[in-house]
Chain A
Amino acid sequence: MGGDRHTVTAPARVRPAPGTILAIVLGAGLPLAFVGVFFAWPVGAMVLRGLVENGALDLGGFGEVLGRPRTLRLIGLTVGQAALASVICVVLGLPIAHVLYRLRFRGQRMLRALIVLPFVLPTVVVGVAFRTLLRKGGLLGPLELDGTFAAIMLALVFFNIAVVVRTVGSTWEGLDSRQEEAARVLGASPQRVWWTVTVPRLAPAIVSAASIVFLFCSTAFGVVLVLGGTRFGTIETEIYLLTTQFLDLRGASVLSITQLVVVVAVLLVAARARGRRTAQRRVAAAQSSRRPRRGDAPAILVTLLVAAFLALPIVALVARSLRTADGWGIGNYLALGGTGSRNALVVPVWAALGNSLAIAVQATAIALLIGLAASLVISRRPRSPGLRRALTGFDGALMLPLGVSAVTVGFGFLITLNQPPFDLRSSPILIPIAQALVALPLVVRTILPVLTGIDSRMRESAAVLGSPPWRVLRDVDLAIGWRPVVAASGFAFAVALGEFGATSFLSRPDRPTLPVVIFRLIGLPGGDNLGMALAASVVLAAVTVGVIALVERLRVGTMGAF
């Protein structure tokens, strides 16, 4: 036996079950192909269009465009407002996360659901609601915030505080409080415990949330356009201007690339923080929550104030929608069955709602299919570090659509998707695809953490007991993962319903979606149209809330958490 030892051939390997390779290739290939064809290709084409001058790469544009004082000012403004908004969201979000995820009281779940609502509202709707609030004569008029930097801050915080609350909250909920208790017993005051024990443990979640908020703020478009008035712009609005008004593709490309660099950098930070978080142990929520105490009063106060702040624009919106030419009433809602004063619309508003719902369902199906496939693949833990790095990169690539301008994507569609087999330019499937692109990162962020949280030994148990790989997938991954899958579909559905940027680009006049209709009604003269726009906004908001509230009952903490 001893002599054989050095000449024995490599041992026979366990061959993977038939179909496993195919499944993995499909699972990784489908999302990659989707993002590649419908995102990387159009964006790449647009960017190249601007950088290639007479067939040769001309990078001089970088120097020229980035050297313009206006550009530098905008970049500074973009980064500045995003950073400030992130800080504010974290400072306000932490006490709220504490109240909503560490304490236990009636109505808590409803509050958790409500806080996600601003995130999914259409920017058009929110813009108008805020303007109505802030201008002279509005409820907050005396504060004289209209058109100021502060107004933009308010809107950005409005949209993004949910990210911090849910990301930090869901992590905090799972933290064992015994470390804090140990520190207290050792003699540390509550403040010391907070700064030296709690914050370091929450740091990965805070960093992750803050970087995502930074991302959303630095690429915010509708909000800045509506509220920033004309003095404040971001890289995003500038790209929009350069492309649509000036056809300065070179400038737009340079800015797109700059934006992409910033986005990738931020996503890397977020991914690293996410990795640190998954390594932490979690305890059951019941263990870590307690009834409110007197010491919680400041946090509760902050929560109530912020909740009031979040509710205010929505309340203003609803109130304004009930004001008709004849005083208060539901006239505006009844008018939704028509097509607006003087044929403002091609189809009645309810038909637009129907279109929105149908398109959102298609978008959800696409996003879910691709997001689930991607999540299943990314949640495998391969042995080789090279493969693991590839999976992390894959995960990051899927997040990119969050950070690229809808204008670039929309125009990119026009110039790339015009040859068979991808001549989809006038196909109605393009809108669900664009919406699915936006929803995909959210789907992955909802499903993936739950799948990675499954102990691989459970899968191994099932395998040894006799389950072939596909059955393991079904009996373990899907059995545990169906809840986040359902939650992710609800979330994607709500987001698709409210999506405006890409949709308005690609929408057809005879099959408009509800946000497009709202925008159109706002843009046309006639007081009835404005009333209808507001009523339609309220309907859209109500449907979105309804869907989110429904999936909230599944109590999937990863939804809206990054």
Chain B
Amino acid sequence: MDTALRIDDLAVRFDGVAAVDGVSLDVAAGEVLGILGPSGSGKSTLLRAVAGLERLDSGRVSWHGADITALAVHKRGFALMFQDGQLFPHRSVAQNIAYALRLARTPAAARVDELLELVGLPGFGGRRVTELSGGEQQRVALARSLAARPRLLLLDEPLSALDRELRERLAGDLRRILVDTGTTAVFVTHDQDEAFAVSDRVAVMMGARLQQVGTPSDVWRHPASEQVARFLGYTTVLDAASSRALDPRAAGRIALRPSAVRVADGTPLTATVVHSTHSVDGWRLRLLVDSLGEVDAVAGPQHPLAPGDRVAVRYDRAAMAELP
């Protein structure tokens, strides 16, 4: 697969503080790359720098080998979709979608219909954008971005403004559309479910730097650092001694998700409940496991648990990861 977008040592500084600090990244043609990170990590700035909306303090952006760092925003042939769509309020849905087509002076009507079908809003062409719901607006924004077949589609937290159910549904649709149209895309999010659902590869960005790049399952199973692990939901990181107690083969520390330790019946491992709270599937607990120390744990709803209770636990290795 040839490299479509290449970012070399890109840095962007605001008032002396680095928002993006020496990031290097490759995106292959047709690939969907997700940039995952907490807010303030610089991921949106990175995206905007790729679009040409931010001035680089150092580094390069190239497209298929050609340096486009100095190329004007409107000449790059990219598309950018924001969290809240930013549809033009004074135009109808069809007019919004056709915007880029008109600029490129290509006939619009057929393509608009095609796109509306693609995003699941057939017949919406004549509607005013102010009448649409949040999800519908994002779909139209997506259609608008795709209309002129952009070389690269950039998405800035495209689903963050939607509620959970809609988000999940739209994430799946988004991936399908991107793959079906073969669009190279980079999108930015703070929601790991979203990143993992939509991306081919995930880049974790924290503190203005890239911490790790890899396929979703790679990143999931082998977080590159404690920081990344915590961000990905590994709530407990054991020290070296406890890690070896848990798994003698462990060379580094082990990170645990809450679901790594589960209350079960009749196992030799025991723990004391420190405190417990109800959760959707049962209990979330803080246990003092004899050999490990305090860890987060879960339990099914059938075990009434109070602080001080002694319980038996078992481990779920799939919810553990070894840190380098």
Digitize A8-29: 1 where CB-to-B-CB distance is under 8 Å, 0 elsewhere.
Answer: 1011111111000000000000
**Quick check: A15 and B88 within 8 Å, CB to CB?**
no
| Interface size range on B against A | 35 or more
Q: Chain B's nearest CB lies how many Å from the CB of A478?
A: 10
Q: Assess whether A184 is interfacial by the CB under 8 Å rule.
A: no
By the criterion CB–CB under 8 Å, are A17 and B72 in contact? yes
Q: Is B261 an interface residue (CB 8 A)?
A: no
A148 interface residue (CB < 8 Å to B): no
Among the stretches B50-58, B199-207, B249-257, B308-316, the one at the interface with A is B50-58
A461 touches B55 (CB 8 A): no
With A14-B52, A14-B55, A455-B86: A460-B70 Cβ-Cβ less than 8 Å: no
Task: With both chains docked as a complex, state the minimum distance between the C-beta of B89 and any C-beta of chain A, in angstroms.
Answer: 7
State the CA gap A480–B69 with chains docked (Å): 31
Complex interface: chain B residues within 8 A of A467 (CB): 74, 103
Render A101-114 as a binary contact track against B, CB cut-off 8 A, 1 for contact.
Answer: 00000000000000
Against B, the Cβ 8 Å flags (1 = close, 0 = not) of A39-73 are 00000000000000000000000000000000000
Bound complex: CA A428 to CA B8 (Å)? 63
Is the CB–CB distance between B100 and A465 below 8 Å? yes
Asked if A479 and B88 make an inter-chain contact with CB atoms under 8 angstroms apart, the answer reads: yes
Contact A464 to B57, CB < 8 A, known contacts A14-B73, A455-B86: no
Closest Cβ of chain A to B217, distance in Å, is 28
Least CB separation from A8: chain B residue: B58
Query: Which residue of A has the minimal Cβ distance to B61?
Result: A11
Kindly list chain A residues whose C-beta atoms are within 8 Å of the C-beta of B55.
13-14, 383
Contacts A8-B58, A457-B86, A458-B86; is A465 near B70 (CB within 8 Å)? no
| Contact flags B141-156 to A (C-beta < 8 A → 1, else 0) | 0001100100000100
Instruction: Looking at the assembled complex, report how far the CB atom of A453 sits from the nearest CB atom of chain B, in whole angstroms.
Output: 12
Are A466 and B80 in contact, CB atoms less than 8 angstroms apart?
no
B60 within 8 A of A: yes
Residue ID in chain B nearest A480 by CB atoms: B90
Once A14-B70, A14-B71 are accepted as A-B contacts, the answer to whether A464 and B88 lie under 8 Å apart by CB is: no
Q: Is B82 an interface residue (CB 8 A)?
A: yes
Chain A residues with Cβ under 8 A from B59's Cβ?
A: 11
B72 touches A10 (CB 8 A): no
Does B280 interact with chain A (Cβ within 8 Å)? no
Q: Does A5 contact B (CB under 8 A)?
A: yes
Closest to A2 in B: B9
Interface size on A, residues (CB 8 A): 31
What is the CA–CA distance of A15 and B74 in the complex, to the nearest angstrom?
A: 12
Which residues of A lie under 8 Å from residue B82 when comparing CB positions? 457, 461
B74 pairs with A475, CB closer than 8 A: no
Distance in angstroms between the alpha carbons of A315 and B100 in the assembled complex:
57
CB distance from A5 to the nearest CB of B (A): 6
CB-nearest residue of chain A to B80: A464
A468 CB–B CB distance under 8 Å: yes
Cα–Cα, bound, A314→B146 (Å): 60
CB-CB under 8 A for A15 and B86, given A460-B80, A461-B80: no
Q: Does A476 contact B (CB under 8 A)?
A: yes
Bound: A13/B145 CA distance, A = 25
CB distance from A3 to the nearest CB of B (A): 12
Closest B residue to A10 by beta carbon equals: B58
Q: A464-B78, A466-B103, A467-B103 are in contact. Are A14 and B72 (CB under 8 A)?
A: yes
Tell me if B318 counts as interface (CB < 8 A to partner A).
Answer: no
B124 contacts partner chain A, Cβ-Cβ < 8 Å: no
By beta carbon, the residue of chain B nearest A384 is B15
A464 to B89, CA, bound (A): 18
For the complex, is B104 an interface residue (Cβ under 8 Å from A)? yes
In the bound complex, how far is the Cα of B87 from the Cα of A476, in angstroms?
Answer: 11
A462 within 8 A of B: yes
Min distance, Cβ A385 to any Cβ of chain B, angstroms: 8
Residues of B with C-beta under 8 A to A15: 70, 72
CB of A260 closer than 8 Å to a CB of B: no
Interface set, chain A 130-173, CB cutoff 8 A to B: none
- Complex Cα spacing A463 to B79, Å: 9
Those of B77-131 within 8 Å (CB) of chain A: 77-82, 86, 88-90, 99-100, 103-104
A465:B148 contact, CB within 8 angstroms: yes
B230 in the interface (beta carbon within 8 A): no
Residues from chain A with a CB closer than 8 A to the CB of B222 are none
Closest Cβ–Cβ distance, residue A276 to chain B (whole Å): 21
Assess the A465–B72 pair: CB atoms within 8 A: no
- Closest residue on chain A to residue B147 by CB atoms: A465
Q: Per-residue 0/1 for A440-465: is the Cβ within 8 Å of any B Cβ (1 yes, 0 no)?
A: 00000000000000010110111111
CA distance A14 to B55 in the complex (A): 8
Cα-based distance from A543 to B63 in the complex (angstroms) = 61
Chain A contacts of B14 at CB under 8 A? Answer: 383
Shortest B290–chain A CB gap in Å is: 47
Whether a CB of chain B sits under 8 angstroms from the CB of A388 is no
B294 to chain A, nearest CB (A): 37
- Among the interface residues A8, A14, A385, A475, which one has the most CB atoms of the partner chain B within 10 A? A14
CA distance A480 to B55 in the complex (A): 27
Is residue B26 contacting chain A, with contact meaning CB distance below 8 A? no
* A455 neighbours in B (Cβ, 8 Å): 86
**Does A508 count as interface, using CB distance less than 8 angstroms?**
no
Chain B residues with Cβ below 8 Å from A8 are 9, 58
Q: A10-B58, A13-B55, A458-B88 are in contact. Are A465 and B99 (CB under 8 A)?
A: yes
Docked CA distance A383–B100 (Å): 27
Q: Considering the complex, give the chain A residue whose CB is closest to the CB of B145.
A: A465
- Beta-carbon contact of B9 and A5 below 8 Å: yes
Could you tell me the distance between the alpha carbons of A13 and B70 in the complex, rounded to whole angstroms? Answer: 5
A553 located at the interface, meaning its Cβ lies under 8 Å from any Cβ of chain B in the complex: no
Please name 16 further chain A to chain B contacts, defined as beta carbons within 8 Å, in addition to the given A12-B69, A464-B76, sorted by A numbering.
Answer: A1-B8, A5-B9, A8-B58, A13-B55, A14-B52, A14-B55, A14-B69, A14-B72, A455-B86, A458-B88, A460-B51, A461-B81, A461-B86, A465-B144, A466-B74, A468-B74
B residues with a Cβ closer than 8 A to A are 8-9, 14-15, 22, 24, 48, 51-53, 55-60, 67, 69-82, 86, 88-90, 99-100, 103-104, 144-145, 148, 154
Q: List 6 interface pairs A-B (beta carbons < 8 Å), by A numbering.
A: A1-B9, A16-B72, A17-B74, A460-B53, A460-B80, A464-B74
Give 9 nearest A-B pairs by CB, closest first.
Answer: A12-B70, A464-B80, A466-B103, A465-B100, A11-B56, A463-B73, A461-B86, A458-B86, A12-B69
Give residues in A with beta carbon < 8 Å to B: 1, 5, 8, 10-17, 383, 385, 455, 457-458, 460-469, 471, 475-476, 479-480
